[in-house]
Each structure stands twice: as structure tokens, then as C-alpha cells.
């Protein structure tokens, strides 16, 4: 795979990943007149939960549902420059123009009102956009296995790079798909966050894994995988290196976890064979998800990787894909119990959803 690093007009970095050895060199210049980047993100720690909350008011002006002919993620064309200067591309990754976390955020670490009760600090980190294809009217599930493999390689590359960025504690790769999820750009793309802290859910998962290992001497996700494969009732795809299943305690009306058989902490640790096999496995999962309601399923695809400096031996790379769509025309809203107390109530059993996905 060829990796090309260039710069956009305002100094942001853009990278091209090409699997085709005959792809043209990526030398196009960004001709736009863009203002210098001046992100002003701040993060504050909630004194009741100990969780960090990012404040990024500059994101209010970000691009919102542009028409297809003005999509900023499509290749540039004469008279219509975009975020990607090239006339075509395979996979492109660039620094987000409206980041929640950024490298050059100015400010000092202190506290809100100087009282010491609520710690505050510049939200230093990195946010990137990953464009899976130059084609606007398609989706991840319609990519070729070869293109998915290029995306996986790009995720691995960016995980290594962001993990080496000063201040980044965890790298999170994800895709939001569909307006019901809140997507405002319809071009097939995902994002990568380099957080300056370990996320709350990751901290909880690591604590559970540590307690389980102390009691049983094994990894909890390894035992979950073994149990799911043994019963088979909720398994959707079982390939040579990966297993996709509906978790027995699913929170969402549609939820599938995709796990490698081997415990690895992050993308860079995957073998060539595991990366190839994931491409085929995941496309089959997405095919079944889109067939569930006979319409493109809105979803979030969230990758759980090990933090940069802690809990790596307790982590097990895996993907969680979930949707708010509980029927072809009804959404699950996070109401009082979920939003107020974090206690989830599912309107369908995992076994029912697994059976329906099996039948597709």
C-alpha cells in the first residue's frame, strides 16, 4: 500500500492510501483560501462522575447537510475545490476542520472559576476524517473486500500515529451512518478521535476484565466468545479469524459485536490474514443488517482498542455495531431510564434479532 502525506491550504494534514500500484501520484494542491485553524476546545471534569466533558463551541459552524454537488468529501473538480484536492482517490484521511480535540489548542490547565472544584484544561488531541471511497452515492457495505482491507490498513496506520502523539491516551475509530444517527454529511466516511484521556466506557470494561481475570484466570471477552460459539444461537457470522454475534445483554434494538478469535490490543497487532478475513466478515454483517428492514440501516460502528499507556494486556480489540432503529419506521429513543440513570431497557430480545439476521 502506498501512503502519501500532503497539506491542505490551512496547514492541516491529509493522507492518501492507495492499494492500486498504478494509482496516479497524489500531488494536487489545495487552492482554497482558508483561514488559519484556531480551535478553542476545552474539557472540564464533572465533579459528580469524574468524567471529562469536551466543550467545542466552534463546531456550531461546521458543514451541515450540503447538497451532493457541494459535498466537501468528494474529490475536487474544476471550479469546485473540496477538502480533498485530488480528482479521485481510494482512501483519504485528513484532520477535521472542526475538531472536538486538536493539537494546537491554547490555554492553561486550571479549574472553572478558579475554585478548584471543576478541573478544566485545553482539549488537546486530534480528530481526523476517514473517507472510505471517492464515490458519493454508496456505503461501506457496498465496498469491495479489497477496499475494506485498505481502510483497515489506514485505521492501523492512524492508530500508530495518533498513539505516538503527545497527550493522546486512547484512539477511537468509528463510523456514523444515517440521518437518524445524526449524520450531516452523506458521503461514506468515518472519524478517528485521539482522546487526551481514557474514555469512561473503556475504564469500566478494563475494571471488569481485571476483576474477572483475578477470579477466573482468563479474559472475560475470551470466555464470552467461547460461550457464544458453543451455543451458536446468537452467532451471525463465524469465519476463520472473526466471529460476529448479537450479545446476550444487548442494549440496542439492533446490536452486533465483531471479535477476532485471538486477543489483540489494537489494529496494528492484526496479522495480514486477520485483516483480509475481517473485510469479508464485516461486509457479510453489513449485508444482513441492511436486509433486516429491507432498507439502509442507520448505525454506529465503534471500535474498542487498548488505551495507549494502560490496560493493554486487559484489552481485546473488537467492533460494536448498533442501531436506534427498532422497526422499519420507529426509533428507540433514550428516554428517562437510559438517559437519566444509564439503565437500558431493550424492546426486543437478542435471540429474536439474531434469528431474523440468520434468516436474511
Q: Which residues contact 286 (CB under 8 A, 6 or more apart)?
A: 139, 140, 141
Per-position b or e across 34-63, b if 16+ CB within 10 A of its CB: eeebebebbbbbeeeeeebebebebbeeee
What CA–CA distance (Å, rounded) separates 111 from 104?
A: 20
The HSE-up count of residue 150 (CA atoms within 13 Å, CB side) is 25
Coil, strand, or helix at residue 115?
A: coil
Which region, left, alpha or beta, applies to residue 42 given φ > 0 means left and ψ of -120 to 50 means alpha? beta
- Would you say 233 and 248 are in contact if contact means Cβ atoms under 8 Å apart? no
From CA 310, how far away is CA 293, in angstroms rounded? 41
User: Which positions ≥6 away from 326 have C-beta within 8 Å?
Assistant: 253, 254, 332, 347, 348
For the annotated catalytic residues, the residue numbers are 189
Q: Residue 136, annotated ligand binder?
A: yes
Residues 6+ apart with CB under 8 A from 229: 235, 238, 243
The Cα 225–Cα 243 span in angstroms is: 8
Is 216 part of any known ligand binding site? Answer: no
- Binding positions: 71, 74, 136, 187
- Binding positions for Zn(2+): 71, 74, 136, 187
Amino acid at each position: 500500500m502506498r501512503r502519501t502525506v500532503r497539506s491542505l491550504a490551512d496547514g492541516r494534514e491529509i493522507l492518501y492510501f492507495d492499494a492500486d500500484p498504478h494509482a496516479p501520484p497524489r500531488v494536487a494542491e489545495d487552492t482554497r483560501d482558508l483561514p488559519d485553524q484556531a480551535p478553542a476546545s476545552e474539557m472540564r471534569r464533572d465533579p459528580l462522575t469524574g468524567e471529562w466533558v469536551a466543550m467545542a463551541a466552534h463546531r456550531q459552524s461546521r458543514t451541515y447537510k450540503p447538497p451532493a454537488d457541494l459535498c466537501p468529501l468528494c474529490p475536487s473538480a474544476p471550479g469546485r475545490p473540496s477538502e480533498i484536492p485530488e480528482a479521485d482517490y481510494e482512501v483519504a484521511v485528513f484532520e477535521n476542520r472542526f475538531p472536538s480535540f486538536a493539537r494546537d489548542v491554547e490555554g492553561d490547565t486550571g479549574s472553572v472559576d478558579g475554585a478548584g472544584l471543576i478541573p478544566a484544561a485545553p482539549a488537546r488531541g486530534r480528530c481526523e476524517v476517514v473517507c472510505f471511497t471517492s464515490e458519493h452515492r454508496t456505503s461501506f457495505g457496498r465496498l469491495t473486500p479489497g477496499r475494506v482491507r485498505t481502510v483497515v490498513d489506514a485505521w492501523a496506520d492512524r492508530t500508530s500515529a495518533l498513539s505516538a502523539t503527545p497527550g493522546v491516551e486512547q484512539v477511537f475509530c468509528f463510523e456514523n451512518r444515517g440521518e437518524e444517527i445524526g449524520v450531516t454529511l452523506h458521503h461514506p466516511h468515518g472519524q478517528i478521535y485521539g482522546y487526551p484521556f481514557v474514555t469512561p466506557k473503556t475504564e469500566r470494561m478494563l475494571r471488569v476484565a481485571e476483576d474477572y481475570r483475578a477470579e477466573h484466570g482468563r479474559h472475560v471477552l475470551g470466555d464470552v466468545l467461547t460461550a457464544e460459539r458453543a451455543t451458536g444461537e446468537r452467532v451471525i457470522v463465524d469465519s476463520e479469524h472473526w466471529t460476529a454475534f448479537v450479545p446476550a445483554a444487548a442494549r440496542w434494538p439492533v446490536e452486533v459485536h465483531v471479535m477476532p478469535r485471538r486477543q489483540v490490543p489494537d489494529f496494528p497487532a492484526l496479522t495480514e490474514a486477520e485483516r483480509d478475513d475481517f473485510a469479508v466478515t464485516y461486509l457479510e454483517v453489513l449485508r444482513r443488517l441492511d436486509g433486516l428492514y429491507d432498507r439502509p440501516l442507520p448505525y454506529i460502528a465503534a471500535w474498542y482498542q487498548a488505551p495507549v499507556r494502560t490496560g493493554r494486556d486487559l484489552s481485546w480489540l473488537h467492533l460494536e455495531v448498533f442501531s436506534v432503529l427498532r422497526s422499519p419506521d420507529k426509533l428507540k429513543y433514550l428516554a428517562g431510564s437510559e438517559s437519566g440513570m444509564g439503565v437500558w431497557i431493550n424492546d426486543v430480545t437478542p435471540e429474536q434479532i439474531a434469528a431474523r439476521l440468520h434468516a436474511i
